[in-house]
């Protein structure tokens, strides 16, 4: 006859084994549910644009929330919790580091842009139309403060519409693949998801078809740093802040560079062009040299240290 302590011990061991097995594999059923919901939502938004006779770019904010809705549909209809996939405060210092590091990356992209032939710096550009800024160093400080403020608040809310899908559920699901492979797969999915709005003229209006490839190359280059931020912060909210500040700062890069050549203007001197890809690539190389953290489902917020 099995004693009560043995029954409890066996139950705990069974529970531990099941959890380890669950954390060690990708659930294709959940993935199918996520991508099925995502494709349906994307087609729905495209249909709305078509029926309303408006450009898809005009309703891009609606489009941005499709990954989050697909992730929510997956999480709330399976045995995965929102907290498990990183919807939690996490380590606040990494939220701050994420926001500041984006400014450095966009600054590096700006430097790379104006170093390229045929691209000039426009010192008289106004990055905040309708909002007067002081002249000189004080104006730079004001611009940085405004970028951080809007990026980490309003922009981050919209960025969460993407990040709950990409660096929330999908990164968690693909965590058994490891840091680099999971980042690459998420990066490809993230880039291809942009295809409908890129084909409608988003970011690369002169090169819509090439733009899909360029956007995917950019998102693959960006993905490892996003993964790094999420793992260190133990929160997908850090990715939303990172993404939000990037979007806010990226406008300055576009404003301060000028070129009469659309190839240089859209495919080089762009936050999602060659300049941005190289800047993020160099930063990723530095992170890789120092060693990347282990990507596991536990490291994404399921269990506290």
Q: Against a cut of 0.85, is the pTM above it?
A: yes
pLDDT tens-place values along the chain, 305 residues long: 555 555 545 444 444 344 444 557 999 999 999 999 999 999 999 999 999 999 999 999 999 999 999 999 999 999 999 999 999 999 999 999 999 999 999 999 999 999 999 999 887 777 777 777 777 778 778 888 888 999 999 999 999 999 999 999 999 999 999 999 999 999 999 999 999 999 999 999 999 999 999 999 999 999 999 999 999 999 999 999 999 999 999 888 788 889 999 999 999 999 999 999 999 999 999 999 999 999 999 888 644 44
pLDDT tens profile 233-245: 999 999 999 999 9
Q: Which three-class secondary structure string do you get for the chain?
A: CCCHHHHHHHHHHHHHHHHHHHHCCCCHHHHHHHHHHHHHHHHHHHHHHHHHCCCHHHHHHHHHCHHHHHHHHHHCCCCCCCCCCCCCCCCHHHHHHHHHHHHHHHHHHHHHHHHCCCCEECCCCCCCCCCCCCCCHHHHHHHHHHHHHHHCCHHHHHHHHHHHHHHHHHHHHHHHHCHHHHHHHHHHHHHHHCHHHHHCCCCCCCCHHHHHHHHHHHHHHHHHHHHHHHHHHCCHHHHHHHHHHHHHHHHHHHHHEECCCHHHHHHHCCCCCHHHHHHHHHHHHHHHHHCCCCCCCHHHCCCCC
pLDDT tens profile 53-62: 999 999 999 9
């Amino acid at each position: 006859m099995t004693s009560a302590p043995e029954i409890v011990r066996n139950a705990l061991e069974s529970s531990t084994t099941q959890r380890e097995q669950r954390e060690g594999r990708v659930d294709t059923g959940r993935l199918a549910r996520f991508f099925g919901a995502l494709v349906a939502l994307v087609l729905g938004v495209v249909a709305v644009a078509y029926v309303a006779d408006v450009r898809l770019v005009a309703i891009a904010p609606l489009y941005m929330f499709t990954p989050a809705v697909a992730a929510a549909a997956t999480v709330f209809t399976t045995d995965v919790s929102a907290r498990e996939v990183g919807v939690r405060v996490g380590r606040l210092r990494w939220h701050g580091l994420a926001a500041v590091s984006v400014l450095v990356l966009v600054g590096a992209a700006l430097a790379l842009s104006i170093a390229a032939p045929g691209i000039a710096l426009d010192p008289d550009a106004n990055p905040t139309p309708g909002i007067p800024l002081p002249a000189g160093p004080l104006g730079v400080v004001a611009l940085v403060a405004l970028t951080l403020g809007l990026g980490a608040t309003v922009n981050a809310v919209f960025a969460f519409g993407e990040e709950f899908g990409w660096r929330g559920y999908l990164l968690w699901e693909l965590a058994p693949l490891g840091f680099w492979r999971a980042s690459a797969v998420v990066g490809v999915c993230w880039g291809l998801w942009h295809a409908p709005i890129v084909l409608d003229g988003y970011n690369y209006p002169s090169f819509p078809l090439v733009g899909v490839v360029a956007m995917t190359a950019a998102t693959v280059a960006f993905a490892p740093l996003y993964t790094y931020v999420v793992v260190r912060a133990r929160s997908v909210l850090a990715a939303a802040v990172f993404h939000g500040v990037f979007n806010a700062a990226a406008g300055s890069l576009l404003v301060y560079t000028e070129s009469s050549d659309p190839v240089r203007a859209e495919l080089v001197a762009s936050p999602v062009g060659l300049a941005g890809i190289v800047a993020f690539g160099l930063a990723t190389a530095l992170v890789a040299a120092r060693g990347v953290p282990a990507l596991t489902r536990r490291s994404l917020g399921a269990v506290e240290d």
